Each structure stands twice: as C-alpha cells, then as structure tokens.
A and B are shown apart, each in its own frame.
Chain A
Amino acid sequence: MALKMVKGSIDRMFDKNLQDLVRGIRNHKEDEAKYISQCIDEIKQELKQDNIAVKANAVCKLTYLQMLGYDISWAAFNIIEVMSASKFTFKRIGYLAASQCFHEGTDVIMLTTNQIRKDLSSPSQYDTGVALTGLSCFVTPDLARDLANDIMTLMSHTKPYIRKKAVLIMYKVFLKYPESLRPAFPRLKEKLEDPDPGVQSAAVNVICELARRNPKNYLSLAPLFFKLMTSSTNNWVLIKIIKLFGALTPLEPRLGKKLIEPLTNLIHSTSAMSLLYECVNTVIAVLISLSSGMPNHSASIQLCVQKLRILIEDSDQNLKYLGLLAMSKILRTHPKSVQAHKDLVLQCLDDKDESIRLRALDLLYGMVSKKNLVEIVKKLMSHVDKAEGTTYRDELLTKIIDICSQCNYQHITNFQWYISVLVELTRLEGTRHGHLIAAQMLDVAIRVKAIRKFAVSQMSALLDSAHLVASSTQRNGICEVLYAAAWICGEFSEHLQEPHQTLEAMLRPKVTTLPGHIQAVYVQNVVKLYASILQQKEQAAEPEAAQEVTQLMVDRLPQFVQSADLEVQERASCILQLVKHIQKLQAKDVPVAEEVSALFAGELNPVAPKAQKKVPVPEGLDLDAWINEPPSDSESEDEKPKAIFHDEEQRQAKQRQPEADEEELARRREARKQEQANNPFYIKSSPSPQKRYQDVPGVEHIPVVQIDLSVPLKVPGMPMSDQYVKLEEERRHRQRLERDKKRKKKKDKDKKGKPRRHGSLHTESDDDLAPAQQVDIVTEEMPENALPSDEDDKDPNDPYRALDIDLDKPLADSEKLPVQKHRNAETSKSPEKEDVPVVEKKVKKPKKKDKKHREKEREKKEKGKEARVEKEGEDLDFWLSTTPLPAAAPAPEEPGVNAVITAPKEEDEEPQREEQGDEEDDEDNERDPEKKSSKHKKKKHKKEKEERSKDKKKSKKKKPPGDEAAEPVENGALDEEPLPVRAHVQLLPPGREFLH
C-alpha cells in the first residue's frame, strides 16, 4: 500500500516536467508569483527523493526559474548531486544548472573538484566536454589551481573535440590562476600548429586574448602568427590574428612595416566586411605607431579612408556607424586625409539614426580648422534649433563647446564671435548644460583679456534679459549662465558701459527665485559693482549720486538677507552691515570709494587643474613620517586617564621645552619663511601679494594685450553670431588682398609675430589665417619646478595584470602545475570531504601560500627579464630584417594562398572550404566574383602544397598515432558536401549578412 502511494506520487511528480512548468506559468499570468512559489515547494519535495531522474527534472525546472529571476542558490548541493549522476542525460542538466547559477561565492563549489576531475578523465568525450563547458562558466581560483594540470593534459587529448575545449578553457584557468600560464604555455603554443583547424583556431583565440592584454610577452610569436595570417583562409581566425598584430605593432614599428603589405592586400581582396573592418583598424594602428618615422604611407591611409568612405556611404546603418568610428581613429594622426571627407561627415549629421549623428559629431571635433570653424558651428547651431529630444540637443551643445574650446581655443580667431555663440546658446530651454556654457564664458573672459570689454557688455545684456531669470522657475539648467554673467560683470565692472543699470538688474526682486548658489554670486558681485560705481561717482565729484547708490543697496539687500539659503543670507547680511557703515561715513562726507575698492583689489589668474598635484615635495620632507611619536600599542584606553594626572612635572617640562630652544625656533621660522616665499601657493603676508606675484619669473610671459579691432565692439541688440560670419568673411577677404600685395613685393613670408598656441592639429589653413585680434590666452599657472609628466595610472585592479608573465624563460621545477597525486594526498587527509563543508578552510590555506609563491615568481621574473629581452630581440631582429620568410613569402598579389602551415592534406583544406561554403550559403544572392577566382587559385596551389607536404611530413609525425582512426565522428564531420540552401529561415529577416 505504502509502496503504491510512493509510486503514485512519483508518477505525479514526473508529470510536471519542464514543459508543464512553462505552460503552467504561461497559464497563470495573473498570479504568476503564487503559482511559482507553489512549484518551488513541489520541487523541494522532488529534490528530497532518492530517484536521480526526479532530481534532475527538478533541477532542470529550477534552472528555468533561475532565468526568470528566482533565487535557486539554496539548491546548489542538489545541483552537485545531479552533476555527479553517472548518466549523461542528468549530468548534462546538472552542469547546465551549475554553469548558470554557480559563481565564485558559491561555497559548495569546492565539493565539485573531484567530481569534475573524474568527468574530465571520463572515457566518454561528451562527459568530458560537458564538464569543460560547465567549468568555463564557474571556474574559481581554487578549481583552476587544482584542475590546471588535468586540463593541460586534455590539450593533448586524442579527440579534437576535447582538445579545442581544453585549449579554450585554459584562458579562463590562466585568468584565475596565473601561475599556470608558464607551465602550460609551451603546449598551448604547440596547438597553434594542431592538425585540426578547430583546435588551431582555439589556440589562436586564446593566445590572441592573452597577447591583447600584455602584448610585449608575445612579441616573439610574431613570425609564427605572420605565417598563420598569410596562410589561413578562415576569416574567424584571420580576424583574431590581425587584431593581435594591432596590439603588437605599437611595440615594434618594424613589424608594422612588414604588415602593411599583406594587410593592404587583404583589404583589396576580401569581400567579408568584418575582415575588412578589422584590417582597416589594424592598418590604422600600424600607421599610428609608424606616424613618427615613416612619411610615405599615404597610399595606405588613402586606401583606408577610401574604404571607410564606402562603408559610410553604404545604406547599412551598421557599416555607416563603424566607418565613422574608424574614421575618428585616423583623424587623430592624419587629420588631413579625413578632412577631405568633410562633406560626408556633415551629411551624416542629418542621418535619421541618432547614434550615427553622434559618431559624426565626434569626427567634427577633429575636422575644424580656423578656416571652417565658423561655418561648422553655424551648421551645428541650425541643428540645435531643429533637434527634437533634449539628449541629442544637449550633445550638440557640448560638442559645439568642445569643438570651439579644443586645444586652448586653437581654432578661434574671433572671440567676439564665440561669446555671441555662447550667448545664443543661452536661448536653449531645458538644457542640462547651462553650467558648461557658464564655465566657457568665465574661462574666456578670464583668459582672453582683450575680450573682457565685449564680454562684459554681453553679460550685462544677459543680466538684463528677463527670459533667463524667468526660466529658473521651470527648474531649467540654463539659468546657470547668470552665475557667469553676474561674476563677469562684477569682476570686470570697470568695463561696464552703464554700471548703474546693471546694478539695478542684479538687485531685482525676481533674482530671489534663482538657485541659492547663483544668488550668492549675485550678492558678492553687487558689491564689486557698487565699489566701482562709488569710485566713479567720487571721482566725478557727485557725492549725491554716490549716496543714492548706497541707498539703493540698503533698500534692496534685505531681500537677500531673508533668503532661505544660508550662503546667500550670510553674505547679504555681512554686506548690508558694511553698506550701512559706508552710508554713515558718506553722511559725514568721508571719501570711501578707495577703501571699498580695496576689498576687491588684485587680479585672479587661472590655475592649472593639476597644479596642486604637481607641487614637488621639498627635499627632506617625508609625508609618511610621524610628526609626533606614534602612540604605543600597549597603551590601552584604561591607562589614558591615568596619564592626565600622572605627573605634573612632565607636563611642565614639555611646556618649558620650546622656551629653552628659542634659537632653534628662530632658525626654523626663518627656514619656513624661506620656503613659503618659494611656494607660489602660499598666500604671502606682504601688503600687495598680487604685485609680488607678478614678479614671479614664470608669469612674465603673460602678455598685456594689444587689440587691433576690426570688428565693432558692440553689436546692437541681442548678439547674433551670424553677423560675425559676414564680418569675418570681409576681414579675410581684406587679409587675402593684403597678402597678395605683399607677395607681389616678394616680401618675407610673415608669420613670425603670429601668436602660436599649443595644439596637435596644425592644418594648412591655420597657417595662412591670422586671427582678428592679437589675442593671447593667459596660460594656466603651474608650480615652478613641476614636471610635465602625465602618467595615466593603470588600474591596479586589472585582472589581466597578473598575466603579465615572461613566457620565454625556462621553466623552473617549482613552477610545475600541481599534479593529481599531490592533490589526492591532500584529499586523503580529509576523506569525508564530500560531506563536510568545513574543509573550506583547509583548501584556502594553500591559496595563501600560493600568493607568496606568486610574488616570489614575479621577483624572479623581473630578474630574468633583461636577459630574455636580449635573446628575444635577436630572434625577432632576424625575422624582421630578413624580408620574406621562405615559408611564408607574402606574395603581394595573393596573400591568402601562398604559404602552408601544417599537414597540408585534404582534410585540412576541407573545413576552410566549408567556411567559404557557409558564407556562400549565407549570402547566396550576392555572389562575389572574387571568391570564385580565389577558389580557383586555391586549387592550383593545392598541387604545390602537396609537393611541399613531403617536407612537412616531419611535423605530422608528431601527431599521436591512431589519432585519426580513433575519431570517426569528427572526421565524418569533415567530409564535405555542399550545404543545401535553406528554403526559408523563419527567424532570419531579409537583408544582408555580414561576412560578405
């Protein structure tokens, strides 16, 4: 009876398999959570059963629920049970569940070590395969350490199916257990020449990934990869290799020279866009690395740019996007070649796809010159007006500012135009970037002295215009510009035409609706303005007018005193008191202007953002040293109170001590003063620090600006940057005429007195265009003996750093991977490991040891490095200096067919051909004539290859005997028959595919 019940319940349980669960969930849309919690309860019951089939079914359902977002970590142990099932059906499910939900924090994961080892050495390749696949998802440092040797052995497995998986997973093992890299690397390198193309491609994959992170250790492999590149026809592999070369060339420019030819050949011949794109990218990388030494690669650049232009002109948005992306890389080193395609880039600005427009904007950054800046910005401004969506509009705004401000405003010839652009941008409603505009206004006004008068006039207009203040109520970022406007008008108030009017504007009641930090600036600058008005009036001997202004201040300031913002309130009440005091003095006819202005005497100079960091630490100063004796550890808290009453004498002694050393103190004071005098950041006590500051030798070069204004300073009404376009054109025209005259007179070719700012992009147009004003930018100040080093710190947490390991040094005994024996010995000490999770501690111990070991290793490595570099250098030198290698002679016309790598027999050819077959299959309607011809050529070459194969037989003998016979499955797969063209693929949308 009981048996029947159990049986019945098993049947019922069995009824609900994965399909039922999925269906159930779909049928319970309204109470899904409830239904699922019910299911989880059932699953828990199922997991308690002894029947492994029931358990596996339960785990399978859990895996599905995990994807829906339910936590199944509680079932981790059950998953391990299913993993260790003897039947593949269940094992597969167990490993899948584990790979989906195990991670480094899963504590039961350490229980799996022996099970995984068992599966890895299973006679069934599918058991091994499934274990490797699972391991690739959840490998931990401990697992990596314990299993590294087993996996390394699998790299030489008889079956390519296992070999390729083992090779690929080694990469994960290296990442988790860097010590395994050196011992495993020779075998991995061997696999580059594995007879099976799948294994070979896996090895290429792994080594490329390794080399991408730490290229210098893999430079010695360049000849081998070069051979592979010129011989392989598998696009997947080619892309990896070419990417690898992209990482290597910056280290070895000669390699770059060698690469240019085969790469350009590939660019010409390939029909696969992905490969083309990769080639172009690597050629760009090569050209960047060569850019210093080799001037005559313009053909390659032209080729790249041409190809990219084709991509950009393509109707496929993806190609357009990537084309623009790659263009921007060329732009950095070869701006001129890209600038030729300005039309195309501008056209892309009108694309309907925002991501493409953004890419085009990136490119614009490098395309501007003095000549076209105004025109490009004008175009962008018109886009700003048209743009829907604030994100894109904000992006435009930042780009305009980026473009104009790049390299210290290198391309701006007319700052009045720029200020007008900025003012125009303030009409943007709802932008988040008001602060950017404000920052630019401040920066320009401070650093371009010549523009201050104009800037002040524009800013006072801004303060006057109501729309900005009104916008503050809509929580609008644009009111930020008032911050700049108020500060500029206050700081440079001497340039104001009608200071009184501006003062009134700043004291309007509406101002109190602005954000606090802006009001605070208002309050502060109102006083500056007030001071300059006072001075004006007193000089003009109009005491009554001066008193009126004071009265205005006294009347209006209280509105700020009442502000809820503390900063505003504090400043306002201070200033109100000050003004009231002034009022009293004025009543007694005491001249006050001089003293009030003294409050704001001196000039502010910009300081470089990194200045503080660059202040050198004075000699002999140890910032880490204790100033006082460190508190002794033994001194516990109980003892402290005692110390207070401990003995009076000691304290008195302490007080007396300084007195005793009067001389010493004086000496120190002197030294400190000396140091302070040399420190530009120390605010000195001398009466006029600013004047003194001017004497500092580093500041002398800041020129006093002479302006030669050819543009009227005040443009009536709200400024329109367009007006400047015309004026600018006229001016340029005049300039050109003058220059022509000069040329006729065969005069010396000018340009000497022209101010030159630092910048990387100097284009032709820059040189024959003189700026409208002789404007000099006040450079940012830096401490005197600061070093210009701009080391960008590498991320110390980079997981790939641990893999920066010398691979050419011979292997020491201590480095060998822990072998199973060793591990068994350890496990025999804890035979109940499977049941006792406490073993964790035990397992972790060796890890610490390993860390020490790792450090030692690194030290060793450092020592061995120099010797290695030399040796490696020799080999490479040889390869790089001997032009075509006999084996891999890169014939210029046809790189893909010339050389042979390994066992050049039919089986090897097949998969490559299949690759092509696949591609044809993918894109049947767009057959490429090129391909046919290359196929044709290939056949020709096959004969050649067969001849050579005799020579290559030696390498073939390395292969374990019986390898091929032992694997009917894989070899069967290689038997090639043309793939049928699919009648229809339901999921596939119409349209082009990408390998072509």
Chain B
Amino acid sequence: MQFMLLFSRQGKLRLQKWYISLSDKEKKKITRELVQTILARKPKMCNFLEWRDLKIVYKRYASLYFCCAIEDQENELITLEIIHRYVELLDKYFGSVCELDIIFNFEKAYFILDEFLLGGEVQETSKKNVLKAIEQADLLQEYFHIMAL
C-alpha cells in the first residue's frame, strides 16, 4: 500500500498515512486530486478506480471516506478488507466510533493504524492482538501519567 487517507464528505482531511516518501507539496496535490475525484463519484459506483499508475480503493463509512492507494498487482478486495478491518478496530477501540472521535483523538487513530499496518503491509491480522497492543501501550501511558502527577 502506498498511502491511506481519511476524509470527510466535505472534503476535509481527517487522517493521512504515507508509506512512500513524497514532498509535502506533492502530498497535498495528490490529496486534493483524489478527494475531488472520489467525492464526485456516485454512491452506486464500484469502489475502485485507476489513478495515475496506481489503483485507488475507497469506501465510505457514514460521513467518512477511507481511501487507499495500491500498486497495480495488489488485490483490491483484500484492500477493502483492510479498510474494513481498520474501521472495525476503530469501532472496537472507541465504541461506536464516529467522525468526531477521530477528529478529537486523531493520535489514537494513528496509533491503532500503526499497530495494524506497518510500512504499508498488514502487520497483524488478528484484531484481538492489535487491540491488546494498543491497550497495553495506553496502560503504560496512563501509568506514566499517574507517576507524573
């Protein structure tokens, strides 16, 4: 996977994770272009599109669009599954996650993503293990907080 973007129906970026090295300018350009293209698509259309030499896989969950860019040979369906899995993880973590959760706790959303994917590859296919790792890390964080006070 080359990158993952989360954005709202209004086109506001909510999360971005780049697994390739690009300049900020290029990233912004790509983001703008993709957000426009995807928002313009009709709801009944399929979730894939060809873009430059990449394939874009996106899916809308409530008011949020999850969008991944994969290379030509990668599997679109498994990418959809990755998106879905990530949504499930967010949902488990936040409990009925909504867009606001991701806005206000965006760093948590990143932490979860980082436990699930690493360098654009699936790191952990077990949902339980991902959540466990996050919980443990959070515990550690809490612990330090308590120590600090």
Cβ–Cβ contact B110 & A96, under 8 A: yes
CA distance A801 to B9 in the complex (A): 40
| A324 CB to nearest B CB, Å | 10
B69 at the interface (CB under 8 A from A): no
Chain B residue, CB-CB nearest to A136: B119
Cβ–Cβ contact A987 & B75, under 8 A: no
Chain A residue, CB-CB nearest to B141: A89
Q: A743-776: which residues lie under 8 A (CB-CB) from chain B?
A: none
Query: Count of chain B residues with Cβ under 8 Å from any Cβ of A?
Result: 66
| A579 CB to nearest B CB, Å | 53
Task: Known contacts A92-B137, A103-B22, A161-B133; decide if A986 and B111 are in contact (CB<8 Å).
Answer: no
Identify which of A88, A198, A352, A987 contacts B141 (C-beta below 8 A): A88
Q: Which residues of A contact B76 (CB under 8 A)?
A: 277, 318, 322
Q: B1-45: which residues lie under 8 A (CB-CB) from chain A?
A: 13-19, 21-24, 28, 42, 44-45
Chain A residue, CB-CB nearest to B13: A67
Chain A residue, CB-CB nearest to B87: A987
CA distance A87 to B88 in the complex (A): 30
Q: Which residues of B contact A970 (CB under 8 A)?
A: 129
| A627 CB to nearest B CB, Å | 42
Cβ–Cβ contact B46 & A356, under 8 A: yes
Identify which of A67, A243, A989, A993 contacts B15 (C-beta below 8 A): A67
Cβ–Cβ contact B122 & A205, under 8 A: yes
| A795 CB to nearest B CB, Å | 11
| B141 CB to nearest A CB, Å | 4
Task: Known contacts A88-B140, A969-B132; decide if A68 and B13 are in contact (CB<8 Å).
Answer: yes
Chain B residue, CB-CB nearest to A919: B81
Q: B89-143: which residues lie under 8 A (CB-CB) from chain A?
A: 90-91, 96-98, 103-104, 106-107, 110-111, 114-115, 118-119, 121-129, 132-133, 136-137, 140-141
CA distance A88 to B133 in the complex (A): 14
Cβ–Cβ contact A92 & B46, under 8 A: no
Cβ–Cβ contact A198 & B124, under 8 A: yes
Identify which of A71, A212, A987 contacts B90 (C-beta below 8 A): A987
Cβ–Cβ contact A969 & B61, under 8 A: no
B54 at the interface (CB under 8 A from A): no
Q: Which residues of A contact B104 (CB under 8 A)?
A: 18-19, 22
Task: Known contacts A68-B13, A353-B45; decide if A985 and B19 are in contact (CB<8 Å).
Answer: no
CA distance A200 to B148 in the complex (A): 39
| B24 CB to nearest A CB, Å | 7
Identify which of A92, A169, A212 contacts B111 (C-beta below 8 A): A92
Cβ–Cβ contact A18 & B107, under 8 A: yes
Cβ–Cβ contact B111 & A96, under 8 A: yes
Identify which of B23, B42, B106, B126 contacts A915 (C-beta below 8 A): B126
Cβ–Cβ contact A236 & B64, under 8 A: no
Cβ–Cβ contact B128 & A973, under 8 A: yes
Q: A288-328: which residues lie under 8 A (CB-CB) from chain B?
A: 317-318, 320-322
Identify which of A96, A205, A318 contacts B80 (C-beta below 8 A): A318
B52 at the interface (CB under 8 A from A): no
Chain B residue, CB-CB nearest to A104: B21
CA distance A164 to B22 in the complex (A): 26
| B68 CB to nearest A CB, Å | 13
Cβ–Cβ contact A986 & B96, under 8 A: yes
| A355 CB to nearest B CB, Å | 6
Cβ–Cβ contact A973 & B132, under 8 A: yes
CA distance A53 to B42 in the complex (A): 46
| A183 CB to nearest B CB, Å | 20
Cβ–Cβ contact B45 & A355, under 8 A: yes
Task: Known contacts A71-B24, A988-B91; decide if A168 and B129 are in contact (CB<8 Å).
Answer: no
Contact mask A78-99 → B, CB, 8 Å, 1/0?
0000000001110011001001
Q: Which residues of A contact B115 (CB under 8 A)?
A: 133
Cβ–Cβ contact A198 & B129, under 8 A: yes
CA distance A68 to B132 in the complex (A): 30
Cβ–Cβ contact A169 & B24, under 8 A: no
Task: Known contacts A973-B129, A987-B62, A987-B98; decide if A60 and B107 are in contact (CB<8 Å).
Answer: yes
Cβ–Cβ contact A988 & B87, under 8 A: yes
Q: Which residues of B contact A201 (CB under 8 A)?
A: 122, 125
Cβ–Cβ contact A317 & B126, under 8 A: no
Cβ–Cβ contact A985 & B47, under 8 A: no
Q: B41-82: which residues lie under 8 A (CB-CB) from chain A?
A: 42, 44-49, 60-62, 64, 73, 75-78, 80-81
Chain A residue, CB-CB nearest to B131: A973
| B129 CB to nearest A CB, Å | 5
A994 at the interface (CB under 8 A from B): yes
Cβ–Cβ contact A274 & B45, under 8 A: no
Contact mask A228-252 → B, CB, 8 Å, 1/0?
0000001011010001001100000
| A537 CB to nearest B CB, Å | 58
Chain A residue, CB-CB nearest to B133: A161
| A349 CB to nearest B CB, Å | 15
Q: Which residues of B contact A18 (CB under 8 A)?
A: 104, 106-107
Identify which of A96, A137, A236, A914 contacts B19 (C-beta below 8 A): A137
Q: Which residues of A contact B28 (CB under 8 A)?
A: 69
Q: Which residues of B contact A205 (CB under 8 A)?
A: 121-122
A370 at the interface (CB under 8 A from B): no
Chain A residue, CB-CB nearest to B106: A64
Chain A residue, CB-CB nearest to B76: A322
A354 at the interface (CB under 8 A from B): yes
Q: Which residues of A contact B107 (CB under 8 A)?
A: 18, 60, 63, 92-93, 96
Contact mask A728-739 → B, CB, 8 Å, 1/0?
000000000000
CA distance A22 to B84 in the complex (A): 26
Cβ–Cβ contact A239 & B75, under 8 A: yes
Cβ–Cβ contact B45 & A985, under 8 A: no
| B53 CB to nearest A CB, Å | 11
Identify which of B91, B132, B145 contacts A972 (C-beta below 8 A): B132
| B25 CB to nearest A CB, Å | 10
Cβ–Cβ contact A92 & B124, under 8 A: no
Q: A44-63: which residues lie under 8 A (CB-CB) from chain B?
A: 53, 60, 63
| B115 CB to nearest A CB, Å | 8
| A72 CB to nearest B CB, Å | 10
Q: A871-915: which residues lie under 8 A (CB-CB) from chain B?
A: 911, 914-915
Chain B residue, CB-CB nearest to A105: B23
CA distance A597 to B114 in the complex (A): 77
Identify which of A168, A237, A317, A985 contacts B118 (C-beta below 8 A): A168
A481 at the interface (CB under 8 A from B): no
Cβ–Cβ contact A915 & B125, under 8 A: yes
CA distance A202 to B87 in the complex (A): 22
Task: Known contacts A126-B136, A353-B46, A355-B45; decide if A92 and B15 are in contact (CB<8 Å).
Answer: no
Identify which of B49, B62, B106 contacts A355 (C-beta below 8 A): B49
Q: Which residues of B contact A972 (CB under 8 A)?
A: 132
CA distance A988 to B15 in the complex (A): 18
Task: Known contacts A88-B137, A126-B137, A986-B62; decide if A236 and B77 are in contact (CB<8 Å).
Answer: no
A-B contact pairs, 5 of them (CB 8 A): A64-B106, A133-B118, A171-B121, A322-B48, A972-B132
Q: Nearest 10 CB-CB pairs, A to B?
A: A274-B77, A317-B46, A987-B61, A136-B119, A986-B96, A321-B46, A274-B78, A133-B114, A89-B141, A168-B118
New A-B contacts (15) at CB < 8 Å, excluding given A18-B104, A353-B45, A918-B127: A67-B13, A71-B24, A89-B144, A96-B110, A101-B24, A104-B21, A130-B137, A136-B118, A137-B18, A237-B125, A914-B126, A914-B128, A985-B87, A988-B61, A989-B60
